[in-house]
C-alpha cells in the first residue's frame, strides 16, 4: 500500500471529482424541488389560498340570479265580502222605482255574497335579481386577510424548500458515508485475506500453531459481519434519499467516490446572527400573521358601520305562466342594514383579535432568540467537527505509519499476530472515522447555511 498520507491523496483525487459531485447534487436538489410529494401538497395549499383570494375579490362584483316559484294551495283563511247583502236591496229599489210596470227587472237582485280565499289555488313568480354591494366594509378587510394568507402559504413553501434542501444534502452525504465505509472495509478484507495466506504458510512450515490460523479466519468472519451491516446501511440510506426525491426506492444514485473538505467563510458569529435575523423566513411569516391580526381587528371595528347594497328585480307574476302587459314587473331598491346592538359579540371578537396579535408579538420575540440559538449551535457544531477532523487526520497519519511498521515486522515473524490484528483494527477505525468526519463536515456546513440564510 502507498505510504502517501491519506489526506494528500484525498485532496488530489477529490479536487478532480468535486465538480461532478456538486453537479450531481445540484441536479438532485432541482429534482427534489420538482418531485417531492410533501412539497406538492403545500403547492395545493397555495393554489387553494389563491382561489380564496379570488373569491374575496369576486364579492365586490354584482351577483345575478334567477329565482322562480310556483305554488298550489288549498284551504287557509278567506275574506268574506257581503256583496249580495249590500247590492240586492239597492237593485230592488231601483227596479221598483224605474221599472215598476216591466215584467223583467233591469237590475239583478239575486247577487250572492262572496268568500275569497287568502291563498290563490295556483300562483307563480319568476324574476331576475341583481345585487350590487355598494358599501360593505367587511369585504374590504376580508380581501386583505386573504391576500396575506396567500403570502403566508408562499413563504411556507419556501421554508419547506429550505428544509428539503438540507434533508436531501444530509441524505446524500450520509449515503456517500456508507459507501466509503464499505470501500474501506473491503480494503481491509484484502489485508485479512493476505494475513490468512501468510498464516497458512507459517502453519504448514511449523512456525505457528493452528490457533494463529483460526484467529485470522475469525477476524475475517468478524469483518464480513461489518460488511453486511454496511450493505444494509447503503440500501437504507439510498432508499431514504430516493424517497425525498419521489423516485423508486432502488434507483441508483449518481455519486463521486471521494469528496473534498468543504470550503466555508469563517465569519464572526455576531455577523451571522445579524444576517439570519434579517433573512429568516419564519420572521416574514410572523409579520404576515401579525398583519392578518391587524386586519381582523379592523374588521371587527367596522362592524358598527352600516352596509348598503342595490337590488334590482325584473320578473313575471300571476296564476299561470304567460307574458303580457299586466304580468311583468320591475323593482329597484337600496337596502341598508345597520347592526345597532348584537349583545357585544363584535366587541368580544375584536378583543380576541387584539390578544392574538399580542401573542404573535411575543412569539416573534421568541423566534428571534431561537434563530440566534440555532445559528450559534450550527456555528459551533461546524467548527467542532472541523477540529475533530484535524485530530482524526493526525491519528490516521500516526496509525498508518504504525501499521506499515508492524506489517513489515509481522511478515518477518518478529511480532505476534495479535499485535498485527490490533494495529489493523486501529488503522481501519482511523480511516473510517476520518472519512465520516469529512462528510459530517459537509452536513454541518449545510446546517449552518440554512440557519443563516433561511431561504433568502
Q: For residue range 260-285, list pLDDT tens digits in order.
A: 666 666 678 888 888 888 888 999 99
Integer Cα distance of 155 and 294 in angstroms? 19
Higher pLDDT: 305 or 263? It is 305
Q: How many CA atoms lie within 13 A of 54 on its CB side?
A: 6
The DSSP string of 387-419 is HHHHHHHHHHHHHHHHHHHHHHHHHTT-S-HHH
> Span 358-363, mean pLDDT?
94
> Span 313-328, mean pLDDT?
82
3-state helix vs strand vs coil in the chain, percent to 5: 70, 10, 20
Residue count (the chain): 456
How much is the pLDDT for 6? 45
Architecture of the domain made up of 6-61+136-305+341-453: Up-down Bundle (1.20)
Q: For residue range 392-433, list pLDDT tens digits in order.
A: 999 999 999 998 898 888 777 787 777 877 888 888 889 999
Q: Is the pLDDT of residue 4 over 60?
A: no
Q: Give the 3-state secondary structure of residue 68.
A: strand
Confidence of residue 54 (pLDDT cuts 50, 70, 90): very high
Q: For residue range 25-50, list pLDDT tens digits in order.
A: 888 999 999 999 999 999 999 999 99
Q: For residue range 170-194, list pLDDT tens digits in order.
A: 999 999 999 999 988 988 888 788 7
- CA dihedral in degrees (136, 142, 147, 148; nearest 10)? 140
> Span 80-91, mean pLDDT?
81
Taking alpha carbons only, the member of 393, 383, 369 closest to residue 445 is: 383
CA Rg value for the chain: 45
- 8 A C-beta contact, residue 35 and residue 245: yes
Q: Where are the domains of the chain?
A: 6-61+136-305+341-453, 77-118
How much is the pLDDT for 10? 43
Q: How many CA atoms lie within 13 A of 371 on its CB side?
A: 25
Amino acid at each position: 500500500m502507498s505510504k502517501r498520507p491519506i489526506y494528500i491523496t484525498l485532496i488530489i483525487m477529490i479536487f478532480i471529482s468535486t465538480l461532478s459531485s456538486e453537479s450531481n447534487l445540484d441536479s438532485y436538489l432541482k429534482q427534489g424541488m420538482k418531485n417531492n410529494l410533501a412539497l406538492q401538497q403545500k403547492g395545493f395549499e397555495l393554489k387553494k389560498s389563491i382561489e380564496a383570494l379570488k373569491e374575496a375579490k369576486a364579492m365586490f362584483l354584482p351577483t345575478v340570479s334567477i329565482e322562480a316559484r310556483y305554488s298550489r294551495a288549498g284551504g287557509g283563511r278567506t275574506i268574506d265580502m257581503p256583496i249580495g247583502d249590500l247590492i240586492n236591496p239597492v237593485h230592488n229599489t231601483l227596479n221598483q222605482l224605474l221599472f215598476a210596470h216591466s215584467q223583467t227587472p233591469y237590475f239583478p237582485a239575486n247577487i250572492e255574497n262572496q268568500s275569497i280565499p287568502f291563498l290563490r289555488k295556483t300562483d307563480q313568480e319568476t324574476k331576475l335579481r341583481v345585487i350590487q354591494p355598494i358599501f360593505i366594509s367587511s369585504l374590504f378587510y376580508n380581501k386583505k386577510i386573504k391576500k396575506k394568507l396567500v403570502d403566508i402559504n408562499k413563504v411556507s413553501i419556501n421554508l419547506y424548500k429550505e428544509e428539503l434542501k438540507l434533508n436531501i444534502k444530509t441524505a446524500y452525504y450520509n449515503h456517500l458515508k456508507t459507501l466509503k465505509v464499505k470501500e474501506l472495509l473491503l480494503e481491509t478484507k484484502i489485508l485479512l485475506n493476505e494475513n490468512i495466506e501468510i498464516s497458512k504458510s507459517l502453519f504448514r512450515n511449523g512456525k505457528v500453531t493452528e490457533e494463529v490460523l483460526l484467529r485470522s479466519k475469525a477476524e475475517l468472519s468478524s469483518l464480513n459481519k461489518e460488511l453486511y451491516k454496511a450493505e444494509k446501511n447503503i440500501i437504507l440510506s439510498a432508499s431514504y434519499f430516493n424517497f425525498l426525491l419521489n423516485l423508486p426506492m432502488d434507483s441508483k444514485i449518481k455519486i463521486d467516490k471521494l469528496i473534498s473538505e468543504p470550503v466555508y467563510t469563517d465569519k464572526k458569529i455576531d455577523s451571522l446572527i445579524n444576517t439570519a435575523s434579517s433573512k429568516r423566513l419564519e420572521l416574514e411569516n410572523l409579520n404576515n400573521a401579525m398583519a392578518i391580526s391587524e386586519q381582523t381587528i379592523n374588521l371587527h371595528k367596522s362592524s358598527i358601520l352600516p352596509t348598503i347594497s342595490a337590488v334590482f328585480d325584473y320578473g313575471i307574476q300571476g296564476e299561470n305562466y304567460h307574458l303580457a302587459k299586466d304580468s311583468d314587473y320591475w323593482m329597484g331598491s337600496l337596502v341598508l342594514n345597520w347592526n345597532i346592538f348584537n349583545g357585544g359579540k363584535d366587541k368580544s371578537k375584536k378583543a380576541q383579535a387584539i390578544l392574538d396579535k399580542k401573542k404573535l408579538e411575543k412569539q416573534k420575540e421568541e423566534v428571534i432568540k431561537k434563530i440566534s440559538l440555532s445559528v450559534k449551535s450550527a456555528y459551533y457544531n461546524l467548527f467542532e467537527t472541523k477540529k475533530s477532523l484535524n485530530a482524526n487526520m493526525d491519528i490516521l497519519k500516526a496509525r498508518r505509519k504504525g501499521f506499515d511498521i508492524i506489517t513489515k515486522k509481522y511478515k518477518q515473524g518478529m511480532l505476534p499476530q495479535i499485535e498485527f490484528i490490533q494495529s489493523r483494527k486501529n488503522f481501519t477505525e482511523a480511516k473510517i472515522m476520518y472519512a465520516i468526519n469529512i462528510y459530517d463536515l459537509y452536513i454541518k456546513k449545510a446546517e449552518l447555511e440554512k440557519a443563516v440564510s433561511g431561504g433568502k
